[in-house]
Every structure is written in structure tokens, then in C-alpha cells.
Chain A
Amino acid sequence: MDKTTLLLCLAGALFTIGLAGVVIRRNALVMLMCMELMLNGVNLSLVTFAQERGDMAPAILVFLVFVVATAEVALAIPIVLLLVKHRRSLDLGDYDVLKG
């Protein structure tokens, strides 16, 4: 087991924890943070590969992910605020009016 593999495993774990966080945690803000965690995990794997290969392309992608993640948060937080205003709750379990 070399470093690359370990880092990749860490990346996979972070990604999965991020996913699982959305499943497990009820707080909407925590959920958003978990999504950030997912992207971070992916970033880690990208950087690992980039360094392994010594190529610039994944780094560009990581940069793009930064941008996208930022934009996502910038959009997500107002939406959550809006929801909080209407539902008076941060609990994701309360956001289930649409179903069926």
C-alpha cells in the first residue's frame, strides 16, 4: 500500500462521508457542508492523480471545482434561508411537502 492508494482511499472516504452526511444529518446547513466535503474528497483524488502523473489538467479541474462549489454555496444558502423563513425549521425532514 503506497501513499497514492492511501490518499485515494481517504478521498473515497471523504466523498462517501459527504454523501452519507446528507443521508444522516437533519440540519440543512450541515447537509450543505457535507456536500462541500464530497467535493473536497474528489479534489483530493484529483490532486493525487495530478501529482502522480505530474500533469496540469486535473489541477485546472480542481480550480473549476472551487469555483463551482463556491457558486453552489452562494446559491444554496439563500435558498435554505428562504426555506427557513417559510418552514421555520432547518430540519431537512420538514422539507417534504412535495412528495408522492
Chain B
Amino acid sequence: MGESSTMATLLNAVLWLPVVGAALLIALRGNERAVRTTTVTVLTVQFVLTAVLYAAFDGQIAGLQFGTVIPWIAQWGVSYRIGLDGVNVLLVLLTGFLGPLVVLGAWRSIEKQVTLFHVMVLLLQFAMMGAFLAQDLFLFYVFWEAMLIPMFLIIGIWGGARRSYATVKFVLYTAFGSILMLLGVIALVQVLQQQSGTASFAFADLYTTKMPVQLQVLLLSGFALSFAIKVPMVPLHTWLPDAHVEAPTAGSVILAGVLLKMGTYGFMKLGFPLFPDATRLFTPVLMTLSVISIVYGACLALVQTDIKKIIAYSSISHLGYVMLGLLSLELVGIQGAIVQMVSHGLVAGGLFLLVGMIYERCHTRELSAYGGLARLVPVFGVFFVIFMLASVGLPTTSGFTGEFMSLLGAFSAAWPQHLDGNNLPLVLAIVAVSGVVLGALYMLRLALTFLFGPVRAPHQPFTDLTGREVGILSALVVAIFALGLFPDSALRKTEGAAKQYQQLVSTSRVPADAR
């Protein structure tokens, strides 16, 4: 008992540390070095705490652990309700892990408004952590939207030439989804209140809400649109390439590493379990969209000339696997989806860091401006190849674990349906597997032009990676291989939650009289 309350305190500390840090930064009054050091320290402490919590977390339990509940807006049943469960535990760890790396990665590249930048990074970290930890729909929504603003500023202030367009697109896109979700939230809580007589925003209570299918469909569309934009799923993706291209490295890393996971996390935590019947009704549509995302993202990545765009489109493709795994409702697929989320965070984050490092040196992201970098900066080349392979999903890397398990889940779900005469899921699974080939195609194209062939790069000569950079990347590489070679411990942590998700989505929640 005592231990778990200690852990709950730690969890609160994890959440609020960045805010404290941000306050500290403002107090530092522009001492740049101190600002950077403080930020890294704060985020490192945060990461250590998440690691401790991760270690203490028992994955076999389906429910909440280390929870805190404080009534907030008591009249509506809104509480400050946070806690770890199997769905968020890995993502919290990932967020904590990427935090210090992002700041270290931006050590050199951010030169103006240093304090503001770090304050924004900390606030963003706070909002992201909050969104993952929240177990109350209102709280979740608040954090969900709160992520928007720091990201808006990060891209808008430190971004590239077309940043204005990109930020507006990013914000309006995401906000559009959020608005519809907001309506869904309101309606959902209203339904719950009518049913149970008490107002509550707690996830656990909302999971018991019974609704006729039509209502579920309506509400799911609101939630799903919001999440699908964040994921992003084709055809709601066009904000992502622009945002990625214009964002500074740190922004891209956070965006790819954590923010995109919000969408899939949202689906897993809310969208699907809240409306199981509608979900099952829409599974074919959503699966088709996921597979289209996989192929479409890959195809577009194939013809981009901007390095960041290639990685951006690859993100669209990779997150399609996550969706596929989640929709399979097979345990292996669900688990795979979680791993794929984390893996994509590590891999895409790493790739964006790498591109950022080369951009710092050469000031262009145009693919055709480069060639033979493996000769010029071999250490960079080595890391690039490792991340590229992880992105391609080569076994022993985390990318493989995620893709393999997601696809296995999708296929395992599809085959019996195929035997029953429903061929669509099988066709989708097969097309999704072809994404594996396309993935190799565009990543290898990138590597080919970028790393190999005769040496070609603007602003030569430049130095190979520095110790700081190697350190950042090595941390990511270790994580990638750890998840690729020994995913079991991670899977154990998520097992209970995955089962709960499976059970929630599989059980009909249509009221008896509405059937």
C-alpha cells in the first residue's frame, strides 16, 4: 500500500516536473547555457522516474496502477484522474525517453529565443504526458488540445521558410478533428449521465455506457476523425508532410516520436473500446483505410525529393500497421500495434534527428543535393543505415517486432473470415504485407542517393557526428535493438491491457432493448 502510494506520487511528479522546469527556466532569465542544462536535467529526471515506474508496473493487471484521483469539477464528475495502465505505460516511457534526447539534439540548432523554445518543449512534454496518463475524458481532452499550442509555436517560430502555412495547416487540421471529438465527448457523457444518473468522465465508467449502434456510429465518427487526423490516416494526412518539413528537428522528432502516437493511442484507449459495436461495424472501412495508408504513404515516400518528406510519408505508412494491428482484435496484433507505436517513435525520431544533424551542416534537405555521405561522414552513415533498416523492419530491430506482430494479427484475424467467405480482410492483409516491399523500396532509395555513390554535398567539408550526437543516437539504437531482440518484457507489461482492450471491443454494448 505504502509502495503504491509512493509510486502514485512519482507518477504525479513525472507529469508535473516539466511545468516546474518551465517555471525555473523563466526564472533563469535568458542564461542560455543554464536553460539548456536545466531542461536536460529536468527531462532526464523525468525519464528516470518513468523508468522506475515502468519497472514497478505489473503488466498482468488489466486495470489502473499508481492512480491518483482528485475531484476537479465535481459538479460534472470531472476529476484529475491519472494512472498507468498497460496501454500507456510504454508510451509514457517512450515520451520520457525521447524528452532529453530532443533537447540534446536541439543543443546547437536552436539559436534564437532559447528560453521560449525550452519552455515550449517542456510544456509540450507536460501535455503529452498528461494526455497519456489521463484517465478522465475531460482531462484527456484538455491535454489533447493543449499539445497543439506548444507545437504550433515550435514549428511557427523555429521552423523553415513555409512555416506559416505549415503551422496553420497543422493546427486547423488537428483542431477540426478535436472539435468533432468534443461534441462526441459531450454527447457520450450525456448518455452516460442519462443511463447511470451520475455524471462521470472517468474512462472506466464510460466503458460501461450502453448505446444503440446508430449513436455509437455517430460518436465514433467524431472521435475517429479526430484520431485519424492525428495518426494520420489517408486521406487526412496532408498536414503531416508540411508540418514535418517546416518543423525544426526537435519539433519533427516530437511530432513523429510522440504526437502521432496520440492518434493511435486515442483509438486504442477511447475510440474503439468506447464504441465496440460501431467499431466492429466499421472495421472493414477502417482496415481498408489503414492499408491504403500503408501503401499510399509508401508510394508517396518513393517520389519525394525532400528528405524529411520521405520520412514523413513513411510515418503515414508505418502507423497504418498500428491501426491494422489494433483492428485485428487478435492479441498478437494488438501487442504488435503497441510495439509498433514505440518502435516508430524511436525510429522516425532517430531519422529526423539524423536529417537534422546533416541539415545543421549543409542547410538543405533536398535529396538530390547529397550523395556518398557514407564516405564523407562514415559514422553518420552507420547510424543512418541502422535507422533505415529499423524503419524497413529488418528482424532484430524494433521495426520488425512491430510490423511482424501487427501483420500477424491482421492475418490471423483475416484467415478465418476468408474461410467463411469474407475475402476482404485477407486481401487487405496481403496488400499490407506488400507494404513491406514498398517500405524497403523508398528507404533504400533514400539511402542510395544519400549515402552512396560519388560524394556530393553542399558546404563541404564538414565534420562527422560529434560525441553528443553519437550519444543521442546510440541511446536510440540501444532501445531499437532492445525492443527488437527482447520484446518480451515490454509485451508482458502490456499484456493485461491488451487483453482488456480485446475484451472491451469484442463485447457488444448495445442496450438490450435496442437490439
Q: Do chains A and B touch in the complex (CB under 8 A)?
A: no
